[in-house]
Amino acid sequence: MSARERIAGNVASYVDDRTGAAAWMKKNLQKVFPDHWSFMLGEIALYSFIILLLSGTFLTFWFDPSMREVVYDGAYVPLQGVEMSAAYASALDISFEVRGGLLMRQIHHWSALIFMASIVVHLMRVFFTGAFRKPREFNWILGIGLLTLGIVEGFLGYSLPDDLLSGTGIRIAHAIIQAVPVVGTFLAFLLFGGEFPGIAFIPRIYTVHILILPGIFLALITVHLMLVWYQKHTQYPGPGRTEKNVVGYSLMPIYMAKAGGFFFIVFGVTAFLGAVASINPLWLYGPYTPGQVTAGSQPDWYMGWLDGLVRMAPPLEPVIFGYTLSLNILIPGLIVPGIIFTGMALYPFIEQWITGDKREHHILDRPRNAPNRTALGVMSLTFMLVALLNGGNDLIATAFDLSINQIMWFSRIGIFVLPPLAFIITKRLCLSLQRADRELVLHGRETGRLVMMPSGEFVEVHEPISAEKAWLLTQHEQNAPLELEESDNRGVRRPGLLKSKLRKRFAVAHAEQVPKPTMNDVREIEHH
Amino acid sequence: MSNEIELIKDPGLPEHKLRQSDVDPKAADRAERQVAILFGLSSLGTIVFIYSYLFIPVDRFIFIPLMGDQNLHQLLLGLGFAAALLFIGLGAVHWAKTLMPDHEVIAHRHELRSPDADREAFVKTAKEGAAAAGLGRRSLIKRSLGLSLGLVGLSPILFLGDLGPTPGNALRTTSWKAGSRLVTDPGDRPIRPEDLEIGAVAQTLPELAPGKDHHSLNDIAKDAVLLIRLRPEEFNLDAERLSWTYQGIIAFSKICSHMGCAVALYEQTTKHLLCPCHQSTFDVTRAAKVIFGPAARPLPQLAITVDAEGFLIAQAPFNEPVGPSFWERSA
């Protein structure tokens, strides 16, 4: 035994004597994880969060979240002598005087965008593959919580520097708060410590941005990962993979190296972006003042859909019993997002209600094999995309020399028309893909080889696909829609008939499938 | 043949394929060298990083085609740092993919649900615990505890009460008074009608109250006013609103009636004011009537005239609250 082994052994023994960790460690170092590129999306979100913590901590050493008025005398000549808040001045100092400061600011901002983007794409992966099904409904809700908080955290973050662009964002957030019926005015005065903009808001959101929300994030991410660990990861269908096993590689050494390495790759790519790609050049905007605005004011992309909805809202502001109800703000700013996020959080339960399926699922769906769900997902994405495009309607109008009014009308109509259209098209596409799978299993792969028959007819030679591929294309379950009794055995109609009729219609729509080929079909073809 | 449906069978896990580095020791050595080179590149990145930090001045610029003028200090610092991180990652992944064992492992999955016996035992323990505490029998304790917990839960709300004052009349008032001079922003110079050519726009504020040396942001957020000069015959106003203009000069609150952004874009040809935030469009000739976008109300108009010295002044304060709507606005 070498000296090094002896020392390591002694340390391990010392720790195990006091914690009994060896048994647990042995088991978990051998933990098996399935391999697929799409499982790295959540990893990117996790690593971006760590990068955000590291780069954010660096920034707090120099950032001064104070609205104290100072006259700038720093290195950036165009703003010398300009009155501004200490917050903005310190953001300029970080950018121009602290070595590595601008790099860290840009890494922080880029990783925030990557964090949000990877959360959204990860969520899409989980949704379209049905990974949210039992037993993972709770983790789905945690994920929706993280997405929602991420949007808030990102908004607060880019609001801190108190430049003209971010101040405009706060102005809009203030208007949304103030539009809340009954308590809005009081709430706005409470949060802002008086009138807009005041001097209290930025120091307050600083506390929220660097302490409260990161703390909540840490707690939620920990639970999210512990559940993944404990429930074991889902896996894609394939030969040898069942609901009862996990096929993959063990944590030690494969995933230690791969996941650890991947952290450095994500960090490296983010640092590269921070080095070469300018983001939020806040020295160009100047300090915030409520009397000015930059043309083409845009929020970061994950807020863009919200801004797009606000832009397309109709000018509705009824006065009811002498009180003003700002529907033009409330509908796009609070009601629609509220419906979207609640609907997302509840989706696993809605689908369970429709299918009546209470079993555990660990094998992922191929999106085409769940046409209704896939179509719903694409429908929601289309809605978001129209909203997001309208959030940049001024930039689109400028770039493509279009009329902003026409883009707005396109969005106003499109937001109602395009999502249902997307639903129909996607569902048809999924069913067509199922049909193509069926053809492939029954008739084999087209080889591109043409043969002339004695009769003079040309036919293409088909080759049977491998047993592995045939299994992949047919392993999924195809269940008949949930049977619901409309009347009990004495012929009396059940209560809640409308609800059960609705459920039945959903169940039928959800179960629409192209029948998958069976051995019987294969044999029948062989007989011909 | 039976009529029973027979599904296509699972052929089982495909046979393991060996990698080049598993069978050829030379390939394995080559992979080892590649990993070492990647890690070496990372070290090189750190050296570039350290060199830039210590020896390149923060204000050194360099021209790079396509990227334009770049700050060399920041660029090399970032590129060195990025390389230092990226190549560690690439090296580790390459190592895992070429040299670490890649045999697929099968682990078993068990239903998460506890066995029935455990569930029953749990319910029994919980019930016994509750019974031992007497929660069911001693309702006085339960109720009084519920009351005190509920009351103590109110305290955070009170603790946060001093976060801000009550609104009072603040949203209905601005600094504009009858006779306030309109002054330029920036500059604080009073304005004569002849300073504005036809088609010109000016951003103004009320003159500073005595003893104040600058406008606070809170004041600007309500006081900002846009002056626009048209030909008087271009107006399409009722008699009262027309009397609020002066020689074709009309004054509006610059704070958008939708969400409070500065309504900063004026189109001289169409005489439209456009808010860059949400594209609400206001027609200047018709007292800033909303002609497009989500805003529901015109921009409040400030009645103006000139004083004895010929400077523009406000005839009266705004006759309605400026800025975005709020619940009590029309009350």
Residue B312 near chain A (CB below 8 Å): no
Q: Which helix (H) or strand (E) holds B136?
A: none
List, for residues B194-222, the tens digit of each pLDDT value: 999 999 999 999 999 888 888 999 999 99
For residue A322, count CB atoms less than 10 angstroms from its CB and return exposed for 0-12, middle for 13-18, buried for 19 or more. exposed
- If one counts every other C-beta atom within 10 angstroms of the C-beta of residue A281, the result is 12
What single string gives the DSSP state of each residue in B215-269? Answer: --HHHHHHH-EEEEE--GGG----HHHHHTSBTTEEEEESB-TTT--B--EEETT
User: How close B212 gets to chain A, by Cα (Å)?
Assistant: 15
User: How close A454 gets to chain B, by Cα (Å)?
Assistant: 34
Of B77, B85, B224, the CB nearest to A290: B224
Portion 133-162 of B in contact with A at CB < 8 A: 160
What is the biggest distance separating any 2 CA atoms in chain B, rounded to whole angstroms? 111
Structure-block tokens of residue A515? 């029948």
pLDDT at A523: 85
User: How close B33 gets to chain A, by Cα (Å)?
Assistant: 17
For residues A328 and B259, what is the distance between their CA atoms, to the nearest angstrom? 10
| Closest of B258, B164, B261, B276 to residue B221, by C-alpha | B261
Whether residues A264 and B85 touch (CB distance < 8 A) is answered with yes
3-class secondary-structure state, position A231 = helix
For domain A31-354, the CATH architecture is: Up-down Bundle (1.20)
Q: Do the Cβ atoms of B271 and B284 come closer than 8 Å?
A: yes
Residue B194 near chain A (CB below 8 Å): no
For residues A407 and A410, what is the distance between their CA atoms, to the nearest angstrom? 5
Enumerate the residues of chain A whose CB falls inside 8 A of the CB of residue B89.
Answer: 261-268
Beta-carbon contacts below 8 Å between A and B: 323
Cis ω on the peptide bond leading into residue A197 (within 30° of 0)?
A: yes
Specify the pTM: 0.94
Residue B54 near chain A (CB below 8 Å): no
For residue B198, count CB atoms less than 10 angstroms from its CB and return exposed for 0-12, middle for 13-18, buried for 19 or more. middle
For residues B281 and B265, what is the distance between their CA atoms, to the nearest angstrom? 9
Q: How many helices (H) and strands (E) does chain B have?
A: 7, 14
Interface test with B, best of A35, A227, A265, A273 (most B CBs within 10 A): A265
C-alpha B51: how far from its chain's center?
37
**SS3 labels along A79-144:** HCCCEEEHHHHHHHHHHHCCCCHHHHHHHHHHHHHHHHHHHHHHHHHHHHCCCCCCCCHHHHHHHH
For tokens 């799409």, name the residue: A38
Q: Do the Cβ atoms of B327 and A324 come closer than 8 Å?
A: yes
pLDDT at A306: 95
Parts of chain B with a pLDDT under 50: 1-2
User: How close A21 gets to chain B, by Cα (Å)?
Assistant: 21
Calculate Rg over the CA atoms of chain B. 37
Q: Do the Cβ atoms of A251 and A30 come closer than 8 Å?
A: yes
Domain boundaries, chain A: 31-354, 366-478+513-528
The DSSP bridge pattern shows strands B182-184 and B201-206 to be antiparallel
List, for residues B219-249, the tens digit of each pLDDT value: 999 999 999 999 999 999 999 999 999 999 9
Q: What angle do CA A187, A190, A192 make, to 5 degrees?
A: 105
User: Phi/psi class of residue A307: alpha, beta or left (left: φ > 0; alpha: ψ in -120 to 50)?
Assistant: alpha
Q: Taken in order A35, A40, A42, A47, is the CA torsion positive or negative?
A: positive
Task: Give the residue on B whose Cα is nearest the Cα of A250.
Answer: B105
Q: Do the Cβ atoms of A268 and B87 come closer than 8 Å?
A: yes
For residues A211 and A4, what is the distance between their CA atoms, to the nearest angstrom? 42
Interface test with A, best of B217, B272, B330 (most A CBs within 10 A): B217
Q: Residue-wise pLDDT tens for chain A (528 aa)? A: 689 999 999 999 999 999 999 998 998 898 999 999 999 999 999 999 999 999 999 999 999 999 999 999 999 999 999 999 999 999 999 999 999 999 999 999 999 999 999 999 999 999 999 999 999 999 999 999 999 999 999 999 999 999 999 999 999 999 999 999 999 999 999 999 999 999 999 999 999 999 999 999 999 999 999 999 999 999 999 999 999 999 999 888 889 999 999 999 999 999 999 999 999 999 999 999 998 888 777 889 999 999 999 999 999 999 999 999 999 999 999 999 999 999 999 999 999 999 999 999 999 999 999 999 999 999 999 999 999 999 999 999 999 999 999 999 999 999 999 999 999 999 999 999 999 999 999 999 988 899 999 999 998 888 999 999 999 999 999 988 888 766 666 766 666 778 888 888 999 999 999 999 998 888 888 776
Q: Do the Cβ atoms of A202 and A166 come closer than 8 Å?
A: no
User: How close B150 gets to chain A, by Cα (Å)?
Assistant: 22
Q: Do the Cβ atoms of A67 and A85 come closer than 8 Å?
A: yes
| Closest of A94, A95, A287 to residue A197, by C-alpha | A287
